[in-house]
Amino acid sequence: MTLKIFFLRHGETVASKTGGFCGTSDVELTPEGEIMAKDFAVAYSTVPWKAVFSSPMRRTIATAKPLCDLIGMEMQLRAGLKEINFGAWEGKTPSEVNKEFHDEYVRWQSEPGWNSPPDGERAIDIARRSSEVIEEIEQTYPSGNVLVVSHKATIRIMLCSLLGIDVGRYRDQRSWHCVIAFICLLLLLVY
């Protein structure tokens, strides 16, 4: 048996519903997000999990908790799985950011791998810290199923790193259509 890492984005929050920047804002799940977490737990409780790793943010812990409670497993919190720090953009909508920080926003949109929001993180920073968690998982669990509960940007960046895609492409919709097609193909071949 080989190691299989499953990535799960946290359930719905107000920010994920509205599209605002809420990277390091420690927000709760919406009632719908809590239902999503419970539904995931029921649907995937029969998978023989070896471990569950989670970002230490409330929204990811609340997403992983129903599964961990159901299967009697302790979740392992890792700061390396936290969402991108949007710095001065935290709590703002993209239109507000574009208005207040236009030049920085344009630079970040064109190359988020090497440009960060003011006082925030670059994609390469997230790739570095999240790769340490992936390495820990690979060393500790050489086989079996491991769940990683994290955030949209962080998961995209981890997948880019694992698939050999430039992490600066993590926001590129065209790249994600290719990644999704590739993952679907892998799933068809595995199952």
Domain containing 97 equals 3-190
Rg, Å, the chain Cα set = 17
CATH number of the domain residue 185 falls in: 3.40.50.1240
Is pTM beyond 0.85? Reply is: yes
Residue 177 confidence (pLDDT) above 70? no
Nearest to residue 94, comparing CAs of 81, 108, 80, 84? 108
Q: Give the phi and the psi of residue 69 in degrees, each rounded to 5.
A: -65, -45
Number of domains in the chain: 1
> What is the average per-residue pLDDT within 17-39?
90
In tens, the pLDDT along 78-129 reads 999 999 999 999 999 999 999 999 999 999 888 887 889 999 999 899 999 9
d(CA 116, CA 120): 5
Read off the tokens for 9: 């984005």
CA gap 72, 3 in Å, rounded:
21
Pair of tokens at residue 78:
């890792």
H-helix or E-strand spanning residue 51? strand 49-54
What is the C-alpha to C-alpha distance for residues 8 and 148, in angstroms, rounded to an integer? 6
Alpha-carbon distance 56 to 26, whole Å?
A: 9
The predicted pLDDT at position 180 comes to 56
